């Protein structure tokens, strides 16, 4: 009994440590990966950009800051907190069956990744959800900051979906932390404007979604936009036949974005926030002086 009691005390301590250090781990991982990729992009870009970072990045980071603030205000706990709550109450599949910890953690990371893939497909397929998600696609360039810009309403819905999956499967807190760090890092990586040798890319895309693989998803062509939905693992696109190897026009010549919002002024923070509620963007008329971005 003494050994069992000690084991439970150790598990409780481990959970408390994970919960207390989670924000710092995520912040450190985000900062490190972002800086690494931003520097890598600067020296080894895949595409030359027509719209400079000085115009896009302040607006993209404004969206990121707003997303983070709203999540902290609206949700009293994090995804890790939901996992700890489910575990303490015996809720969810992995809290009801006896599995080695490493099996539960590995299976949970894969399940969460599949859930994100399916969510992504649904947000493209359902018109009202696409109006939210399309803001992510209206970036006229494709770089590390693109991987972080999502409409706040979409972020809140995504959190609710994630909470539901965590509770249903009883995902361990450690698995949630691993997945959150991986998703954040791979989203920045696969949206990066990086030149990776084609021979290396062919191997990498069997293990992880690469920038060349995901860039196809940001094409202006609907058939290409509705492909390559994966963020972490590349297998789901092949399994569900949504995989497309290359864009028709090639990576250097393909057009990024969607038809409705082609004017660079649409990259402004206020325009980004209002996009789901509008059908058409600002035209490129010479009479529209506000349509000229200041780089």
CA neighbor of 181 nearest in space, from 37, 50, 79, 53: 79
Give the model's pLDDT for residue 16: 67
Give the model's pLDDT for residue 289: 37
Give the model's pLDDT for residue 295: 36
Give the model's pLDDT for residue 183: 94
Give the model's pLDDT for residue 282: 65
Give the model's pLDDT for residue 14: 61
Crossing angle of the two packed helices 2-43 and 173-190, in degrees rounded to 10: 10
* Predicted TM-score of the model (pTM): 0.88
- Average pLDDT per block of 10 residues along the chain, 295 residues long: 47 64 84 96 94 94 95 87 92 93 95 97 97 96 96 96 97 93 95 96 96 97 97 95 96 94 95 92 46 38
3-state secondary structure of 219: strand
| DSSP H helices in 44-78 | 53-74
**Can you tell me which residue has the tokens 């190897």?**
245
């Amino acid at each position: 009994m003494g050994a069992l009691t000690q084991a439970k005390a150790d598990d409780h301590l481990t959970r408390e440590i994970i919960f207390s250090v989670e924000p710092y781990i995520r912040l450190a991982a985000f900062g490190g990966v972002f800086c690494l990729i931003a520097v890598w992009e600067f020296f080894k870009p895949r595409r030359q950009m027509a719209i400079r970072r000085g115009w896009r990045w302040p607006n993209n980071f404004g969206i990121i800051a707003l997303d983070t603030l709203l999540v902290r205000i609206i949700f009293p706990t994090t995804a890790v907190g939901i996992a700890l709550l489910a575990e303490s109450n015996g809720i969810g599949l992995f809290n009801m069956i006896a599995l080695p910890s490493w099996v539960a953690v590995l299976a949970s990371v894969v399940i969460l990744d599949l859930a994100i893939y399916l969510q992504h497909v649904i947000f493209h397929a359902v018109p009202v959800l696409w109006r939210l998600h399309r803001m992510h696609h209206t970036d006229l360039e494709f770089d590390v900051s693109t991987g972080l810009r999502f409409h706040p309403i979409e972020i809140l819905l995504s959190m609710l979906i994630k909470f539901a999956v965590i509770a249903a499967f009883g995902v361990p807190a450690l698995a949630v932390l691993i997945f959150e760090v991986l998703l954040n890092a791979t989203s920045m990586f696969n949206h990066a404007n990086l030149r990776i040798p084609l021979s290396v890319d062919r191997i990498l895309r069997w293990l992880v979604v690469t920038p060349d693989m995901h860039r196809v998803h940001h094409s202006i062509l609907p058939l290409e936009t509705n492909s390559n939905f994966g963020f972490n693992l590349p297998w789901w696109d092949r399994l569900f036949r949504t995989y497309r190897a290359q864009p028709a026009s090639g990576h250097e010549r393909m057009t990024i974005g969607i038809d409705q919002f082609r004017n660079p002024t649409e990259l402004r923070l206020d325009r980004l926030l209002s996009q789901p509620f509008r059908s058409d963007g600002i035209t490129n008329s010479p009479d529209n002086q506000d349509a000229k971005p200041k780089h």
